[in-house]
Amino acid sequence: MKKLWFEFIYEDFYCYKNKNEKFQRVMHNPRRLFSKTEGIKKIQGKIYHIFTIIGPTKHRDNYCDSE
């Protein structure tokens, strides 16, 4: 499982490898994205909150260690 940092800046959705990274891995325009909360899952003894980002061509499940 990879740890990523998500951030909204103005009208765009950015994804970084860590909180201090200067260059984004991925940038999306949120007008074409939808999110869906999937619930809670326990993985290796840790509790994660699951949400899905749904784009025009694919969707990706994301796990957060905090709400």
pLDDT at 13 over 80: no
Sheet containing 12-16: give its strands across: 5-9, 12-16, 26-28
Gap between the Cα atoms of 45 and 23, Å rounded: 32
Please give the share of the chain, as a percent, with pLDDT higher than 70. 82
Q: Which residues pair with 37 in a beta bridge?
A: 51
Overall average pLDDT of the 48-66 stretch:
83
Quickly state the pLDDT bin for 10 (edges 50, 70, 90).
Answer: confident
Q: Are 13 and 30 in contact (CB under 8 A)?
A: yes
CA distance 54 to 13: 13
Q: Where are the domains of the chain?
A: 5-64
